[in-house]
């Protein structure tokens, strides 16, 4: 049988639409755009030289000067936003530095906003873990029966409300409510509105898991945590619990729903996108980045296509907005096409 004498019984040939790059592009279903990428940034008080983070090539704790240069690169690349974390010199039980209008986070937000205006979205992380001496995301209540530290939900909400106002006053367009306290979206919304900041939106970390993939981040923020966050972050074995969390945050006034981490939680992203009519975001966390970087560095996988494939999976699952340490680099690849 000659090559041209093909079986005519085969009328369905999906391969026709994969024949060349132009056809593949024409039928592509997923388009990641630089404007929908958010870059997390770390700013360390009192630092004189940028300080690299183990496992995250290119990610550093910024000084005021290196932050400014990074924001210039972000503007140049045309990414959608930045998510700012501050690491203070002084920590205490209550995370008081978080409420200092001249503290490291507020100052960074003010500087960035002055630099960018409305050219990209400035998101401030609303959480106490960088500011507390014990490293928990809220203030502590009485220890439990086994003597373990517990986080006092409602006392923490009071502080979150105050912190949200400080960050809004510093110029944040958006507040990243990441602490996983019950009622944090409602408390944040109430505080913002009460202070006349009804224009500031809330990116709610609605489904945030107690994940082992946060390792390198904990170094990046010099986390003081001893133990875990399992009494407030979600159990990785659960999916339906996320639906409850997402619905609650939507009802409380979230503007955007975040699922975190991303790559081990694609099912949750997908369900979130079916459940609510709010924009869905997801955060490719430090350990997820580190795995890909480590495998690529060993020559086990091809770095650029692996990164693009990972991000495509997050987008395909239903998160148009992706928070990633690769944001500027990926935007460069997308702009080049
Ligand atoms: C906590 C917070 C975490 C991350 C960002 N904010 C997780 C944690 O320490 O429990 C992780 C981000 C990453 O790993 O990239 N507010």
Q: How remote is the CA of residue 214 from the centroid of ligand 1, in Å? A: 6
What whole-number distance in Å separates Cα of residue 151 and Cα of residue 307? 36
Q: Which parts of the chain sit beneath pLDDT 50?
A: 1
CB 86 within 8 A of CB 103: yes
CB 78 within 8 A of CB 35: yes
Question: Which of 214, 216, 224, 327 most suits a substitution to test ligand 1, by most atoms within 8 Å of the C-beta?
Answer: 214
Q: How remote is the CA of residue 217 from the centroid of ligand 1, in Å? A: 6
pLDDT value, residue 336: 86
For atom 3 of ligand 1, which residue has the closest CA? 214
- Pairing mode, strands 60-62 and 51-52: antiparallel
- pLDDT single digits (tens) 255-291: 999 999 999 999 999 999 999 999 999 999 999 999 9
**Residues carrying an active site annotation:** 208, 260
**Rg, Å, the chain Cα set:** 21
CB 169 within 8 A of CB 124: no
For atom 14 of ligand 1, which residue has the closest CA? 214
For atom 8 of ligand 1, which residue has the closest CA? 214
Ligand 1 first shell, C-beta below 6 A = 127, 129, 137, 178, 214, 217-218, 229, 285-286
pLDDT value, residue 149: 86
pTM: 0.95
User: For residue 294, what are its two tokens?
Assistant: 């480590």
pLDDT value, residue 291: 98
What whole-number distance in Å separates Cα of residue 154 and Cα of residue 182? 8
Helix axes 240-252 and 184-194, enclosed angle (nearest 10)? 10
């Amino acid at each position: 049988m000659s090559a041209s004498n093909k079986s005519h019984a085969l009328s369905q040939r999906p391969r026709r639409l994969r024949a060349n790059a132009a056809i593949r592009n024409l039928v592509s279903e997923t388009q990641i755009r630089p404007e929908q990428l958010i870059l997390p940034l770390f700013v360390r008080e009192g630092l004189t030289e940028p300080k690299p983070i183990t496992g995250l090539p290119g990610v550093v704790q910024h000084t005021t000067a290196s932050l400014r240069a990074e924001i210039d690169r972000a503007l140049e690349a045309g990414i959608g936003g930045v998510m700012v974390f501050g690491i203070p010199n002084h920590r205490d039980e209550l995370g008081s530095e978080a409420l200092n209008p001249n503290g490291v986070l507020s100052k960074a937000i003010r500087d960035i906003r002055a630099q960018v205006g409305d050219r990209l979205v400035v998101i401030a992380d609303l959480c106490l873990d960088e500011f507390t001496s014990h490293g928990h995301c809220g203030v502590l209540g009485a220890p439990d029966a086994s003597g373990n530290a517990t986080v006092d939900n409602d006392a923490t909400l009071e502080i979150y409300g105050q912190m949200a106002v400080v960050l809004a006053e510093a110029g944040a367009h958006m507040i990243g409510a990441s602490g996983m306290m019950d009622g944090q979206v409602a408390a944040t919304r109430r505080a913002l509105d009460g202070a006349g900041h009804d224009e500031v939106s809330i990116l709610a970390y609605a489904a945030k898991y107690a994940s082992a993939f946060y390792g390198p981040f904990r170094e990046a923020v010099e986390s003081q945590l001893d133990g875990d966050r399992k009494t407030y972050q979600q159990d990785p074995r659960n999916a339906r619990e996320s639906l409850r969390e997402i619905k609650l945050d939507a009802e409380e006034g979230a503007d955007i729903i975040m699922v975190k981490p991303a790559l081990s939680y694609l099912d949750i992203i997908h369900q979130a996108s079916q459940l609510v009519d709010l924009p869905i975001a997801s955060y490719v966390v430090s350990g997820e980045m580190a795995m890909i970087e480590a495998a690529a560095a060993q020559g086990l996988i091809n770095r650029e296509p692996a990164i693009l494939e990972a991000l495509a999976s997050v987008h395909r699952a239903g998160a148009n907005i992706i928070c990633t340490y690769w944001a500027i680099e990926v935007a460069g690849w997308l702009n080049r096409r």
